[in-house]
Amino acid sequence: MRSAPPTPSAGPGAPRRRRRPSARSRAAASTTRSRRRDDPRRCRPRFCRRASGAPLCSSGYPALTPRILGHEGAGIVESVGPRVTTVAPGDRVGFCFVPPCGHCRACSAGRFHLCETAAMRSYEGMLLDGTSRLHLADGREVKHFNFVSCFAERCVVPAASAVKLPDGLPLWEAALLGCGVVTGVGAVRNTARVAIGESVCVIGCGGIGLHVVAAARLAGAGLIIAVDLDATKLELALHRGATHAVNASHEDAVAAVLALSGGVDHAFEAVGLPATIRQAWDVLRPGATAIVVGLTPRGLDVALPALELLSEKSLKGCYYGSANVPVELARLADLVVAGRLHVSDVVSHLTDLDGIEEAFGRLRRGEGVRTIAVMDPESAEAPASLHESVAQQEGELGVA
Ligand SMILES: [Zn+2]
Ligand SMILES: [Zn+2]
């Protein structure tokens, strides 16, 4: 098992580093241009915000360049377009990387996370209105990434991507909510709908899987079996509410989970590899469901024993926690402020714009759990020392 999917080294999804300008120059370019274009008389609803924190996530690899990455983050609104009423300058906001258009077939059915308009514009690297607000100093257009592009000191996003945050939640922690937390919690609450007392297995305890564990605890699951290759991540999973930990580098994970549970009601795959998807299938009891949360590299197939469909096992995908993200992100922020959901203990590193390439290297190698790029330590309320911050939380990790 791997804690992060491998980076494609070739093909259309592979990073093309030489054609991308440095993070610093990209940030400067977007800042310069957005100031000029932020005249509210010229622009459609959107706002410019000062970036404070942006976590790195394995789904943050580029396909189109030049492009500014960063699809999850938090910051402070600097200015808004003329028709924006949901946020105002000075508001602290977290980001939703699927801003629902509100009128496509998916939105009409209440499946906002599958918004067809957002999917199309995201693929194009544009905002919802089909335009880019980012340019290099020489005028060349720069693609947005999932409407957010917050590996920068400032960014321009659709109003529907901005979710107002409650007081008392530091921005460096809030930056985690818009991807890993919403996805992990939503997988349990919305996709699987785990009921009290049901058994859960979580395969892969990285940035998403740990939130799946916490959400399973919140949902009242009985057995919560965490599986990973990394003892440190398993320790974090136990802190977050896992009842058992299986180290797949030492033992047969499927056999161990079956011995503990006799087959689980819900298996969550948070790695993104065919082998671990198959493991999630193999630990199910009859009638149970495996939820694939991990992002699988393009072009891979998953083989399953078709005869086992007779036992009414199911395999189900999960995107963005099957969530109405603007609503659920705000609710999760309230839970964090209330001390009922801990999110920052998954953060193993803090860095700045210049440290992003190194952080992606750690992600590819499966080292650490989450890195947050802090653009403005003061507004992000980032701890001077991550070690001290995490140490202060010892004894209260997990879900209250
Ligand atoms: Zn992400
Ligand atoms: Zn839509």
Provide mean pLDDT across the span 11-28.
Answer: 31
Q: Which of 2-11, 63-72, 277-286, 384-393 has the lowest mean pLDDT?
A: 2-11
Tens of pLDDT, residue by residue over 386-400, are 644 443 443 332 222
**Higher confidence at residue 349 or residue 258?**
258
Q: How far is the CA of 226 from the centre of ligand 1 (A)?
A: 21
Among all bound ligands, the one having the nearest atom to the CA of 112 is 2
Q: Which ligand is nearest to the CA of 58?
A: 1
Give the bridge partners for 266, in sequence order.
Answer: 200, 289
Top mean-pLDDT range of 61-70, 283-292, 388-397: 283-292
Ligand nearest to the CA of 95: 1
- Three-state secondary structure string covering the chain: CCCCCCCCCCCCCCCCHHHCCCHHHHHHHHHHHHHHHCCCCCCCCCEEEEEEEEECCCCCCCCCCCECCCCCCEEEEEEECCCCCCCCCCCEEEECCCCCCCCCHHHHCCCHHHCHHHHHHHHHCCCCCCCCCEECCCCCEEECCCCCCCCCCEEEECHHHEEECCCCCCHHHHCCHHHHHHHHHHHHHHHHCCCCCCCEEEECCCCCHHHHHHHHHHCCCCCEEEEECCHHHHHHHHHCCCCEEEECCCCCHHHHHHHHHCCEEEEEECCCCHHHHHHHHHCEEEEEEEEECCCCCCCCCCCCCHHHHHHCCEEEECCHHHCCHHHHHHHHHHHHHCCCCCCHHHEEEEECHHHHHHHHHHHHHCCCCEEEEECCHHHHCCCCCHHHHHHHHCCCCCCC
Give the Å distance between the CA of 98 and the centre of ligand 2.
9
Q: pLDDT tens for residues 334-369?
A: 999 999 998 888 888 899 989 999 988 888 887 777
Ligand nearest to the CA of 122: 2
243-265 average pLDDT score: 98
What are the tens digits of pLDDT across the range 163-214? 999 999 999 999 999 999 999 999 999 999 999 999 999 999 988 999 999 9
Task: Point out the ligand nearest to the CA of residue 101.
Answer: 2
| Centre of ligand 2 from the C-alpha of residue 133, in Å | 21
CA 213 to centroid of ligand 1, rounded, Å: 17
pLDDT-wise least confident of 30-39, 74-83, 316-325 = 30-39
177 and 372 in contact (C-beta within 8 Å)?
no
Ligand nearest the Cα atom of residue 108: 2
Q: What are phi and psi of 92, to 5 degrees?
A: -95, 130
The residue assigned the tokens 């939820």 is: 291
Please give the pLDDT value at position 57: 66
Taking the centre of ligand 2 as the mean of its atom positions, its distance from the CA of residue 160, in whole angstroms, is 11
Q: Is the pLDDT of residue 60 over 90?
A: no
pLDDT at 117: 96
Q: What is the pLDDT of the chain when averaged over all its residues?
A: 83
**Listed residues: CB within 5 A of ion ligand 1:** 57, 59, 72, 179
Ligand 1 geometric centre to CA of 107 (Å):
22
CA of 7 to the centre of ligand 1 (A): 15
Note the ipTM here. Answer: 0.96
Ligand 1 centre distance from Cα of residue 246 (Å) = 25
d(CA 264, CA 254): 11
Q: How far is the CA of 54 from the centre of ligand 1 (A)?
A: 10
Domains of the chain in start order, with CATH, are 17-176+343-393 (3.90.180.10), 192-319 (3.40.50.720)
Could you say which ligand is closest to the alpha carbon of residue 111?
A: 2
Percent over 70 (pLDDT), the chain = 80
CA of 273 to the centre of ligand 1 (A): 17
